[in-house]
Amino acid sequence: VRVAGGVATNGGGLFVTGASSMLVLGGRVRVERNNASATGGGVSLGAGARCEALDDTRLSLNTAGASGGGAYASGGALFITDRVLVDANVAPTTGAGLHLVEGASALISASAAVVNSTSDVGGCVAASASSFRMLGLTTLSNCSALTAGGGISATGSNVALLNRSSVTGCKAKTGGGVY
């Protein structure tokens, strides 16, 4: 399955909202080259919504006009596992790879990676009043932020890097790896 070339204000590729709404991306799904003028170039999740990306899925080359180039979650839950790659996404202000806000949560596990993304704050991941966890051979790498948090920017958030997770090659004016 390929979701490509979508254009929207929020959720250029996919938009999921509503309590108990769930999106599963698995089996080599490609969400690529989508554009949101505001948030969630690839995927946008609203409050109560859940997205599971697994089994060699790719969120690549997506762009958001503000934040969350790869994925944006406002109160939703994002699970990225089993060789998923979030790669080369762009958001000029916050969270080029992933942007989590307002109680959102994200878990990255099982050889998943967020790489090669650029933003002003939170090149790979930006979390504000949210929860972000990495475990099991996961990687954030080669991301950059002009201001802060090349790998991760966390404000009022819980962040856990566990069990062979790594943040490498990320750059920022302040907090190249984690801010």
Q: What is the percent of the chain where pLDDT is above 70?
A: 100
SS3 29: coil
Q: What's the pLDDT at 118? A: 95
The pLDDT of residue 20: 86
Q: Is residue 76 a contact partner of residue 100, using CB atoms and an 8 Å limit?
A: no
Predicted local confidence at residue 32, as pLDDT? 98
pLDDT 10s digits, 130-151 = 999 999 999 999 999 999 999 9
- In the 8-state DSSP scheme, what is residue 166? E
- pLDDT(19) > 90: no
Tell me the pLDDT of the chain averaged across its residues.
97
Q: Amino acid identity of 19? A: A
The model's pLDDT over 60-98, given as tens digits with 9 standing for 90+, comes to 999 999 999 999 999 999 999 999 999 999 999 999 999
The C-alpha atoms of residue 122 and residue 24 are separated, in whole angstroms, by: 25
The CA distances from residue 36 to 81, 99, 100, in Å, are 24, 14, 16
CB 167: neighbour CB atoms within 10 A?
A: 21
Predicted local distance difference test score (pLDDT) of residue 62: 98
Predicted pLDDT of residue 23: 96
CA atoms within 13 A on the CB side of 101: 14
Q: In which band, very low, low, confident or very high, does the pLDDT at 30 lie, cut at 50, 70 and 90?
A: very high
Calculate mean pLDDT across residues 152-174: 96
Do residues 108 and 77 lie in contact, with contact meaning Cβ atoms separated by under 8 Å? Answer: no
Contact (CB, 8 A) for 114 and 97: yes
